[in-house]
Amino acid sequence: MTAQGKVILETHGLTKRFGGLVAVDHVDFKLEEGELRAIIGPNGAGKSTFLNLISGRLKPTEGKVIFKGEDITGLPCHEITRKGIALSLQLVNIFPELTDFENIWIGAQMRFKHRNPFVKAETLAPIRAKVEEICKMVGLYDKMDEVASNLSHGDQKLLDIGIALSTEPSLLLLDEPLAGLSRKEFAELTEVIRELSKSKTIILIEHNIDAVLKLARKITVLDRGKVIAEGSPVEISENVKVQEVYLGRRR
Protein backbone atom coordinates (compact mmCIF):
# COMPACT_ATOMS: atom_id res chain seq x y z
CA MET A 1 0.00 0.00 0.00
CA THR A 2 1.11 3.49 -0.77
CA ALA A 3 1.43 6.20 1.82
CA GLN A 4 -2.01 7.49 2.69
CA GLY A 5 -3.51 10.25 4.68
CA LYS A 6 -2.67 13.21 2.48
CA VAL A 7 -5.70 14.73 0.81
CA ILE A 8 -5.12 15.11 -2.93
CA LEU A 9 -8.56 16.29 -4.04
CA GLU A 10 -11.45 17.95 -2.27
CA THR A 11 -14.60 19.65 -3.39
CA HIS A 12 -16.59 22.11 -1.32
CA GLY A 13 -20.27 22.59 -2.06
CA LEU A 14 -19.72 21.63 -5.68
CA THR A 15 -22.90 22.31 -7.63
CA LYS A 16 -23.88 22.13 -11.28
CA ARG A 17 -27.26 23.23 -12.55
CA PHE A 18 -28.54 22.72 -16.07
CA GLY A 19 -31.47 25.11 -16.19
CA GLY A 20 -33.85 23.80 -13.54
CA LEU A 21 -32.07 20.49 -13.12
CA VAL A 22 -29.52 20.21 -10.35
CA ALA A 23 -27.15 17.53 -11.63
CA VAL A 24 -24.62 17.87 -8.82
CA ASP A 25 -25.91 19.30 -5.58
CA HIS A 26 -23.50 20.74 -3.00
CA VAL A 27 -21.10 17.83 -2.99
CA ASP A 28 -18.37 17.87 -0.35
CA PHE A 29 -15.87 15.24 -1.31
CA LYS A 30 -12.43 14.28 -0.06
CA LEU A 31 -9.96 11.92 -1.64
CA GLU A 32 -6.71 10.74 -0.14
CA GLU A 33 -3.58 10.16 -2.11
CA GLY A 34 -3.16 6.56 -3.28
CA GLU A 35 -6.83 5.75 -2.85
CA LEU A 36 -9.00 3.96 -5.36
CA ARG A 37 -12.44 5.37 -4.82
CA ALA A 38 -15.51 4.02 -6.51
CA ILE A 39 -18.50 6.24 -7.14
CA ILE A 40 -21.74 4.43 -7.66
CA GLY A 41 -25.33 5.49 -8.01
CA PRO A 42 -28.35 5.04 -10.24
CA ASN A 43 -28.48 6.48 -13.75
CA GLY A 44 -28.74 10.24 -13.70
CA ALA A 45 -27.24 10.51 -10.23
CA GLY A 46 -24.69 13.03 -11.47
CA LYS A 47 -21.61 10.79 -11.41
CA SER A 48 -20.30 11.70 -14.85
CA THR A 49 -21.14 15.36 -14.32
CA PHE A 50 -19.14 15.24 -11.11
CA LEU A 51 -16.06 13.98 -12.98
CA ASN A 52 -16.58 16.54 -15.74
CA LEU A 53 -16.59 19.31 -13.12
CA ILE A 54 -13.30 18.08 -11.66
CA SER A 55 -11.64 17.71 -15.06
CA GLY A 56 -12.76 21.12 -16.29
CA ARG A 57 -14.98 19.93 -19.13
CA LEU A 58 -17.85 21.64 -17.33
CA LYS A 59 -17.72 24.77 -15.23
CA PRO A 60 -19.34 24.48 -11.81
CA THR A 61 -22.30 26.73 -11.00
CA GLU A 62 -21.15 26.97 -7.40
CA GLY A 63 -18.51 25.53 -5.15
CA LYS A 64 -14.82 24.83 -5.32
CA VAL A 65 -12.48 22.11 -6.53
CA ILE A 66 -9.17 21.95 -4.67
CA PHE A 67 -6.41 19.77 -6.13
CA LYS A 68 -3.18 19.36 -4.14
CA GLY A 69 -4.11 22.41 -2.11
CA GLU A 70 -4.66 24.57 -5.17
CA ASP A 71 -7.98 25.99 -6.27
CA ILE A 72 -8.58 24.73 -9.82
CA THR A 73 -12.25 25.65 -10.07
CA GLY A 74 -13.22 26.75 -13.56
CA LEU A 75 -9.82 26.32 -15.22
CA PRO A 76 -9.95 25.13 -18.85
CA CYS A 77 -9.50 21.39 -19.14
CA HIS A 78 -6.09 21.48 -20.86
CA GLU A 79 -4.68 23.36 -17.85
CA ILE A 80 -6.22 20.93 -15.40
CA THR A 81 -4.70 18.06 -17.37
CA ARG A 82 -1.33 19.74 -17.08
CA LYS A 83 -1.78 19.95 -13.32
CA GLY A 84 -2.09 16.17 -13.23
CA ILE A 85 -5.72 15.11 -13.58
CA ALA A 86 -6.52 12.82 -16.48
CA LEU A 87 -10.01 11.82 -17.54
CA SER A 88 -11.02 8.79 -19.52
CA LEU A 89 -14.55 9.32 -20.76
CA GLN A 90 -17.40 6.86 -20.76
CA LEU A 91 -17.44 6.66 -24.55
CA VAL A 92 -14.21 5.67 -26.24
CA ASN A 93 -12.36 8.88 -27.01
CA ILE A 94 -9.23 8.32 -29.08
CA PHE A 95 -7.53 9.57 -32.25
CA PRO A 96 -9.14 7.06 -34.62
CA GLU A 97 -6.99 7.42 -37.75
CA LEU A 98 -3.66 7.23 -35.92
CA THR A 99 -1.83 4.13 -34.73
CA ASP A 100 -1.80 3.14 -31.06
CA PHE A 101 1.78 4.31 -30.90
CA GLU A 102 0.87 7.74 -32.24
CA ASN A 103 -2.19 7.97 -30.01
CA ILE A 104 -0.10 7.57 -26.90
CA TRP A 105 2.71 9.67 -28.33
CA ILE A 106 0.39 12.70 -28.49
CA GLY A 107 -0.14 12.64 -24.76
CA ALA A 108 3.40 11.58 -23.92
CA GLN A 109 5.06 14.52 -25.65
CA MET A 110 2.92 16.97 -23.64
CA ARG A 111 5.31 16.79 -20.68
CA PHE A 112 8.39 17.38 -22.85
CA LYS A 113 9.55 20.90 -23.25
CA HIS A 114 11.51 20.99 -26.51
CA ARG A 115 9.08 22.22 -29.09
CA ASN A 116 11.70 23.15 -31.65
CA PRO A 117 9.52 23.31 -34.74
CA PHE A 118 12.17 21.55 -36.83
CA VAL A 119 12.92 18.56 -34.66
CA LYS A 120 11.53 15.40 -36.14
CA ALA A 121 9.14 14.04 -33.57
CA GLU A 122 10.35 10.48 -34.22
CA THR A 123 13.86 11.30 -33.09
CA LEU A 124 12.87 12.20 -29.55
CA ALA A 125 14.05 9.04 -27.79
CA PRO A 126 12.77 9.75 -24.25
CA ILE A 127 9.22 10.11 -25.55
CA ARG A 128 9.55 6.91 -27.53
CA ALA A 129 10.68 5.03 -24.42
CA LYS A 130 7.79 6.41 -22.44
CA VAL A 131 5.26 5.45 -25.13
CA GLU A 132 6.59 1.90 -25.16
CA GLU A 133 6.37 1.70 -21.40
CA ILE A 134 2.74 2.82 -21.41
CA CYS A 135 1.86 0.44 -24.23
CA LYS A 136 3.25 -2.39 -22.10
CA MET A 137 1.35 -1.15 -19.07
CA VAL A 138 -2.03 -1.33 -20.83
CA GLY A 139 -1.15 -4.47 -22.79
CA LEU A 140 -1.03 -2.97 -26.27
CA TYR A 141 2.68 -3.42 -26.88
CA ASP A 142 2.11 -5.97 -29.64
CA LYS A 143 -0.47 -3.75 -31.34
CA MET A 144 1.44 -0.46 -31.39
CA ASP A 145 1.43 -0.32 -35.17
CA GLU A 146 -2.29 -0.90 -35.59
CA VAL A 147 -4.62 1.91 -36.53
CA ALA A 148 -6.81 2.69 -33.54
CA SER A 149 -10.12 2.56 -35.41
CA ASN A 150 -9.43 -1.10 -36.30
CA LEU A 151 -9.07 -2.21 -32.68
CA SER A 152 -11.72 -4.12 -30.75
CA HIS A 153 -13.81 -2.13 -28.30
CA GLY A 154 -11.88 -3.52 -25.36
CA ASP A 155 -8.53 -2.57 -26.86
CA GLN A 156 -9.83 0.90 -27.68
CA LYS A 157 -10.80 1.28 -24.03
CA LEU A 158 -7.30 0.20 -23.00
CA LEU A 159 -5.87 2.68 -25.48
CA ASP A 160 -8.08 5.41 -24.07
CA ILE A 161 -6.73 4.72 -20.60
CA GLY A 162 -3.22 4.58 -22.07
CA ILE A 163 -3.69 8.06 -23.51
CA ALA A 164 -4.87 9.29 -20.13
CA LEU A 165 -1.79 7.73 -18.48
CA SER A 166 0.54 9.27 -21.03
CA THR A 167 -0.11 12.71 -19.54
CA GLU A 168 1.50 11.49 -16.29
CA PRO A 169 -1.50 12.14 -14.07
CA SER A 170 -1.40 11.88 -10.32
CA LEU A 171 -5.18 11.51 -10.32
CA LEU A 172 -6.94 9.32 -12.85
CA LEU A 173 -10.68 9.67 -13.44
CA LEU A 174 -12.30 6.64 -15.06
CA ASP A 175 -15.89 6.94 -16.19
CA GLU A 176 -17.43 3.48 -16.51
CA PRO A 177 -14.38 1.90 -18.14
CA LEU A 178 -15.85 -1.59 -17.94
CA ALA A 179 -19.16 -0.91 -19.67
CA GLY A 180 -19.83 -2.95 -22.79
CA LEU A 181 -16.78 -5.18 -22.56
CA SER A 182 -16.68 -8.90 -23.19
CA ARG A 183 -15.95 -11.20 -20.25
CA LYS A 184 -12.31 -11.57 -21.24
CA GLU A 185 -11.79 -7.86 -21.85
CA PHE A 186 -13.51 -7.15 -18.56
CA ALA A 187 -11.04 -9.33 -16.68
CA GLU A 188 -8.07 -7.81 -18.52
CA LEU A 189 -9.09 -4.24 -17.82
CA THR A 190 -9.94 -4.96 -14.19
CA GLU A 191 -6.41 -6.30 -13.81
CA VAL A 192 -4.94 -3.20 -15.48
CA ILE A 193 -6.88 -0.93 -13.14
CA ARG A 194 -5.84 -2.94 -10.10
CA GLU A 195 -2.23 -2.69 -11.23
CA LEU A 196 -2.54 1.06 -11.78
CA SER A 197 -4.09 1.61 -8.38
CA LYS A 198 -0.78 0.62 -6.81
CA SER A 199 0.87 3.78 -8.12
CA LYS A 200 -1.98 6.21 -8.84
CA THR A 201 -4.93 7.78 -7.15
CA ILE A 202 -8.07 6.77 -9.02
CA ILE A 203 -11.73 7.70 -9.05
CA LEU A 204 -13.76 4.98 -10.69
CA ILE A 205 -17.38 5.25 -11.74
CA GLU A 206 -18.79 1.82 -12.25
CA HIS A 207 -22.14 0.10 -12.46
CA ASN A 208 -20.79 -3.39 -12.07
CA ILE A 209 -20.92 -4.11 -8.35
CA ASP A 210 -18.63 -7.13 -8.55
CA ALA A 211 -15.88 -5.03 -10.07
CA VAL A 212 -16.41 -2.27 -7.54
CA LEU A 213 -16.20 -4.68 -4.63
CA LYS A 214 -13.08 -6.24 -6.10
CA LEU A 215 -11.25 -2.97 -6.68
CA ALA A 216 -12.30 -0.32 -4.20
CA ARG A 217 -11.82 -0.09 -0.47
CA LYS A 218 -14.05 2.91 -0.18
CA ILE A 219 -17.24 3.74 -2.02
CA THR A 220 -19.18 6.96 -2.42
CA VAL A 221 -22.85 6.73 -3.35
CA LEU A 222 -24.50 9.54 -5.27
CA ASP A 223 -28.20 9.96 -5.81
CA ARG A 224 -29.84 12.93 -7.52
CA GLY A 225 -26.63 14.89 -7.28
CA LYS A 226 -26.15 14.35 -3.55
CA VAL A 227 -23.77 12.14 -1.59
CA ILE A 228 -26.03 9.80 0.36
CA ALA A 229 -23.43 7.46 1.77
CA GLU A 230 -19.71 6.89 1.96
CA GLY A 231 -17.73 4.04 3.43
CA SER A 232 -16.29 0.58 3.02
CA PRO A 233 -18.07 -1.91 0.75
CA VAL A 234 -19.55 -3.67 3.79
CA GLU A 235 -20.86 -0.41 5.26
CA ILE A 236 -22.36 0.56 1.93
CA SER A 237 -24.13 -2.72 1.37
CA GLU A 238 -25.60 -2.53 4.88
CA ASN A 239 -26.66 1.10 4.53
CA VAL A 240 -30.46 1.32 4.54
CA LYS A 241 -30.58 4.49 2.44
CA VAL A 242 -28.40 2.92 -0.22
CA GLN A 243 -30.48 -0.20 -0.33
CA GLU A 244 -33.60 1.87 -0.79
CA VAL A 245 -32.31 4.22 -3.39
CA TYR A 246 -29.85 2.17 -5.33
CA LEU A 247 -30.01 -1.55 -4.75
CA GLY A 248 -33.76 -1.42 -4.27
CA ARG A 249 -34.40 0.43 -7.46
CA ARG A 250 -32.21 -1.91 -9.41
CA ARG A 251 -34.43 -4.88 -8.70
Partner 1 sequence: MAKYRLKPTLSGCMLATAVVILVAVGPLLPASLRSLLIDIMIFSIYAMAFDILFGYSNQFSYGQATFFGLGAYGILLPVLHAGVNLWTGILIALVLCVIFGLGLGFLSVRLGGAYFVIITIIFNMVFYLLALSWTWLTGGDDGLTFTVPPATIGPLSFSLYNPVVNYYFALVFFVASYVVLRRFVASPIGKILIAIRENEERASLVGYNVFRYKLLAFVISALFTGLAGALYAIRTRYASADYFSIILSGEAIVWAIIGGSGTLIGPIIGVAIINPIIYYVGVFWRHYLIIIGLLLILVLRFSTKGIVGVVKSRLAGRRAR
Nearest approach, Cβ of residue 101 and partner 1 (Å):
5
Nearest approach, Cβ of residue 218 and partner 1 (Å):
26
Q: How far apart are CA 225 and CA 21, in angstroms?
A: 10
User: Which residues, in sequence order, are CB contacts of 192 under 8 Å at separation 6+?
Assistant: 137, 138, 139, 158, 161
User: Which range binds partner 1 by CB under 8 A, 14-22, 43-51, 63-71, 118-126?
Assistant: 118-126
Q: Does 119 bind partner 1 (CB under 8 A)?
A: yes
Q: Is 177 helix (H, G, I), strand (E, B) or coil?
A: coil
Nearest approach, Cβ of residue 157 and partner 1 (Å):
14
Q: Does 43 bind partner 1 (CB under 8 A)?
A: no
Nearest approach, Cβ of residue 81 and partner 1 (Å):
4
Q: How far apart are CA 101 and CA 141, in angstroms?
A: 9
Give how far Cα 129 sits from Cα of 6, 133, 136, 228, Å. Answer: 31, 6, 11, 45
Which listed residue (144, 179, 209, 213) binds partner 1 by CB under 8 A?
144
User: Which range binds partner 1 by CB under 8 A, 161-169, 180-188, 229-237, 239-247?
Assistant: 161-169
Q: Does 163 bind partner 1 (CB under 8 A)?
A: yes
Q: Does 200 bind partner 1 (CB under 8 A)?
A: no
Which listed residue (1, 3, 43, 122) binds partner 1 by CB under 8 A?
122
Q: Does 141 bind partner 1 (CB under 8 A)?
A: yes
| DSSP labels, 13-58 | EEEEEETTEEEEEEEEEEEETT-EEEEE-STTSSHHHHHHHHHTSS
Q: How far apart are CA 34 and CA 36, in angstroms?
A: 7
Kindly tell me which of 163 and 204 has the beta carbon lying closer to partner 1: 163
Q: Does 109 bind partner 1 (CB under 8 A)?
A: yes
Which listed residue (143, 157, 206, 227) binds partner 1 by CB under 8 A?
143
Q: How far apart are CA 89 and CA 174, in angstroms?
A: 7
The gap between the terminal CA atoms of the chain, to the nearest Å, is: 36
Q: Does 120 bind partner 1 (CB under 8 A)?
A: yes
User: Which range binds partner 1 by CB under 8 A, 40-48, 103-111, 190-198, 224-232?
Assistant: 103-111
Strands 85-88 and 201-205: unpaired
Q: Does 166 bind partner 1 (CB under 8 A)?
A: yes
CB 187 within 8 A of CB 21: no
Q: Is 242 helix (H, G, I), strand (E, B) or coil?
A: helix
Binding residues for partner 1 (CB under 8 A) = 55, 57, 76-79, 81-82, 86-87, 89, 93-99, 101-102, 105-107, 109-110, 112, 114-122, 124, 141-145, 163-164, 166-167
